[in-house]
């Protein structure tokens, strides 16, 4: 446990220096996911570690629409990953399952009519969640069955790339029927690229 704490402490110190805020909804959704996967005990463990790391957060006190430092959300993912020994693909699945727990997403999805419209709205959706960075959809081809997502000025920890991959696939599925999606990260700020770029392709099923 001490080893995990020391490792997380280093991460927390690095992350805390990175500016940028996100809506409490993200943090809240993270804890709700932990609750579903690991129960109240899991929430208590993650909360306890966050407190030890100098970032006390109480699920009941998080306001969905308030702004919180984004690094807290990233740290919650890292803490859960360490405590529960989750793999990268577990984190992908976390991202994948997250949109259905978010009331903001459910609200927005009511109005989404097609995959194309979903992705045209994605940049606005980003701005609703973050007060920094940018999401663009520079290329969308219905004919060739793919689209590109670019995320700029968002660099906390590589684990968020796995999380976001799962997330984007789920959002794409919301906007469509009878399609199976595949996603790969083709550019990454952690590999020296100027932004993260994700290519999503699909097959009709
Ligand atoms: Zn990346």
Q: Where are the domains of the chain?
A: 2-86, 111-204
Contacts of range 86-95, beta carbons closer than 8 Å, 24 or more positions apart: 88/159, 88/162, 89/162, 91/159, 91/162, 91/163, 91/166, 92/162, 92/163, 92/165, 92/166, 93/166, 94/33, 94/163, 94/166, 95/162, 95/163, 95/164, 95/165, 95/166, 95/167, 95/170
d(CA 182, CA 47): 34
Ligand 1: distance of its center to the CA of 185 in Å? 7
- When mean pLDDT is compared across 41-55, 115-129, 189-203, the lowest value belongs to 115-129
What are the φ and ψ backbone dihedral angles of 200, each rounded to 5 degrees?
-110, 125
pLDDT for 133 equals: 98
Please give the share of the chain, as a percent, with pLDDT higher than 70: 95
Ligand 1: distance of its center to the CA of 60 in Å? 31
Question: What predicted TM-score, i.e. pTM, was given to this entire model?
Answer: 0.94
Instruction: Tell me which of 1 and 145 has the higher pLDDT.
Output: 145
Q: How confident is the model at residue 8 (pLDDT cuts 50, 70, 90)?
A: very high
pLDDT for 109 equals: 67
Please give the share of the chain, as a percent, with pLDDT higher than 90: 79
Q: How confident is the model at residue 172 (pLDDT cuts 50, 70, 90)?
A: confident
Ligand 1: distance of its center to the CA of 156 in Å? 9
Average pLDDT, whole number, for the chain? Answer: 93
d(CA 57, CA 95): 21
DSSP state of 130: B
Within 53-114, where are the H helices?
Answer: 70-84, 88-97, 103-109
Ligand 1: distance of its center to the CA of 195 in Å? 7
Ligand 1: distance of its center to the CA of 127 in Å? 19
CATH class of the domain comprising 111-204:
alpha beta
Ligand 1: distance of its center to the CA of 112 in Å? 27
Question: How long a stretch of residues is the chain?
Answer: 205
């Amino acid at each position: 446990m001490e080893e995990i704490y020391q490792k997380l402490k280093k991460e927390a110190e690095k992350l805390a220096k990175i500016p940028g805020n996100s809506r409490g909804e993200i943090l809240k959704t993270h804890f709700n996911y932990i609750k579903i996967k690991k129960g109240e005990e899991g929430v208590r463990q993650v909360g306890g570690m966050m407190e030890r790391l100098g970032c006390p957060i109480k699920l009941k006190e998080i306001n969905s629409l308030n702004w919180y430092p984004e690094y807290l959300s990233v740290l919650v993912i890292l803490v859960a990953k360490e405590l529960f020994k989750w793999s990268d693909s577990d984190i992908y699945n976390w991202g994948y399952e997250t949109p259905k727990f978010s009331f903001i997403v459910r609200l927005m999805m009511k109005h989404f009519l097609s995959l194309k419209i979903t992705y045209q709205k994605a940049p606005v959706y980003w701005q609703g969640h973050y007060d920094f960075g940018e999401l663009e959809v520079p290329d969308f081809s219905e004919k060739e069955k793919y689209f590109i997502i670019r995320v700029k000025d968002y660099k906390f920890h590589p684990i968020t790339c796995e999380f976001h991959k799962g997330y984007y696939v789920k959002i794409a599925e919301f906007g469509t029927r009878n399609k199976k999606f595949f996603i790969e990260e083709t550019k990454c700020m952690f590999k020296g690229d100027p932004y993260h770029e994700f290519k999503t392709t699909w097959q009709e099923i």
